[in-house]
A and B are shown apart, each in its own frame.
Chain A
Amino acid sequence: MSLGIAMNEQLKDDGIVLTEAQKRARRSRSIAIALSLAALVVLFYAMTLVKGPMLLIRPM
């Protein structure tokens, strides 16, 4: 069995193995997405407190 075929088999079994740099980049991106979503939750909560039921009445 050639090395190329062995490599294909390994990729099928394990998928793509990330390098340390790729893992760090993915982790920092994941944290940024989590913080953005948390900020969006806080924003909607604050706007609901500010506007109350008026939140649903939007002037043109």
Chain B
Amino acid sequence: MSHISEGADIRNPIAAGARLGLAEPSLASVGDYIALMKPRVMSLVVFTALVGLAVAPGSLHPVTGFTALLCIAVGAGAAGALNMWYDADIDAVMTRTARRPVPMGRVQPGEALAFGLTLASFAVVVLGLLVNVLAAALLAFTIFFYVAVYTMWLKRSTPQNIVIGGAAGAFPPMIGWAAVTGSLSLEPVLLFMIIFFWTPPHFWALALYRTEDYARAGIPMLPVVAGDASTRRHILLYTLILVPIGIAPWPLGFAGALYGITAIVSGTIMLALACQVLRERRPAERASRHLFAFSILYLFLLFAVLLVERGWGGLLARWAA
């Protein structure tokens, strides 16, 4: 050992401890652990689960409803933490994700893994004990699907990663519905399908102007593997499937006229934007950015109107009962 490093060891016993194989005490803040839970994704999960819970028939005490949403939120956070644990290597080379706690070294991978597993266990067990077993089973499957099927397998191996993996993000309304009814039916499956078919155009629009980022990380996103033109055609194809599914709750009697009008108008805008993306050529990325931004508003609008039209009255009646 050189004299310089000996001097450094005296001034910094932590570094010396690390050199001796002792665990270095963590500098992670509470904020870092919150960041591990992907709070923005969590908020969308909670919102769609709330809609599933609110439109479901039957009664549910508000405390039970709150518990169900809390467990779904924590379960989503657990999945996010486990995703960041596994994906730390590719997060470090992507501009969008390089500042996450694990690649930045503020949270050790083992800490993220332990945090995610603990939260996942708590969320599933508490949902099963306090609400019902079907909702807990669906939550457990969702976490498994997102972490094992999407993160560990599909994301690095196929351009269909976000198509199949998108199912994980589509489950929350089904869990909300199951929390109230203890069963499943066509209506929550329809909500599932709306999110499932919304996911590809949403993420491919993002991938179109982040292609270099994904390529550098070695993720086989569709624009990286199949190229721009193919991705643009796929976006239009999936939007063509999404729009009628988005409208379907109205003719099927699950939603009213306000929902129908909202779904038709916002669906038409989605289609128009998808057509613009089809015509756009690099280096222009304006249409892709517009589609990405509007797709978030589209999904929010559909579920918000459904909540107002179907769920809000139901929620108030349940709370008053």
Residues in A lying within 8 Å of B, measured CB to CB: 2-4, 7-8, 10-11, 16-19, 21-22, 25-26, 28-29, 31-32, 40, 43-44, 46-47, 50-51, 55, 58-60
Residue from the list A2, A10, A31 in contact with B13, Cβ < 8 A? A10
Closest Cβ of chain A: how far from B34's Cβ, in Å?
9
CB of B63 within 8 A of CB of A16, answer: no
- Known pairs A58-B128, A58-B132; A50 contacts B61 (CB<8 A): yes
Which chain B residues lie closer than 8 Å to A29 at the CB level?
26, 28-30, 33
Say whether B27 faces chain A, with CB atoms less than 8 Å apart: yes
CB of B16 within 8 A of CB of A21, answer: no
Closest chain B residue to A10, Cβ basis: B13
Residues in B lying within 8 Å of A, measured CB to CB: 1, 3, 6-7, 9-10, 13-14, 16-17, 20, 22, 24-30, 33, 61, 63-64, 67, 70, 122, 126, 128-134, 182
Complex CA distance for A31 and B1, rounded to whole angstroms: 40
Which chain A residues lie closer than 8 Å to B20 at the CB level?
8, 11
Complex CA distance for A55 and B64, rounded to whole angstroms: 11
Closest Cβ of chain A: how far from B199's Cβ, in Å?
29
Residue from the list B16, B25, B134 in contact with A11, Cβ < 8 A? B16
Complex CA distance for A60 and B297, rounded to whole angstroms: 35
CB of A28 within 8 A of CB of B25, answer: no
Residue from the list B14, B133, B134 in contact with A19, Cβ < 8 A? B14
CB of B13 within 8 A of CB of A11, answer: yes
CB of A43 within 8 A of CB of B67, answer: yes
Residue from the list B6, B13, B126 in contact with A16, Cβ < 8 A? B13
CB of A16 within 8 A of CB of B14, answer: yes
Closest Cβ of chain A: how far from B201's Cβ, in Å?
36
Closest Cβ of chain B: how far from A21's Cβ, in Å?
6
Complex CA distance for A55 and B182, rounded to whole angstroms: 15
Complex CA distance for A11 and B16, rounded to whole angstroms: 9
Which chain B residues lie closer than 8 Å to A7 at the CB level?
6, 9-10, 13, 16
CB of B129 within 8 A of CB of A22, answer: no
CB of B133 within 8 A of CB of A58, answer: yes
Residue from the list A4, A11, A44 in contact with B22, Cβ < 8 A? A11
CB of A17 within 8 A of CB of B29, answer: no
Complex CA distance for A29 and B29, rounded to whole angstroms: 7
CB of B133 within 8 A of CB of A47, answer: no
CB of B22 within 8 A of CB of A16, answer: yes
- Known pairs A8-B20, A11-B13, A47-B130; A22 contacts B64 (CB<8 A): no
Complex CA distance for A8 and B16, rounded to whole angstroms: 8
Residue from the list A16, A18, A32, A58 in contact with B129, Cβ < 8 A? A58
CB of B28 within 8 A of CB of A25, answer: yes
Complex CA distance for A44 and B81, rounded to whole angstroms: 25
Residue from the list A3, A11, A17 in contact with B3, Cβ < 8 A? A3
Complex CA distance for A44 and B125, rounded to whole angstroms: 12
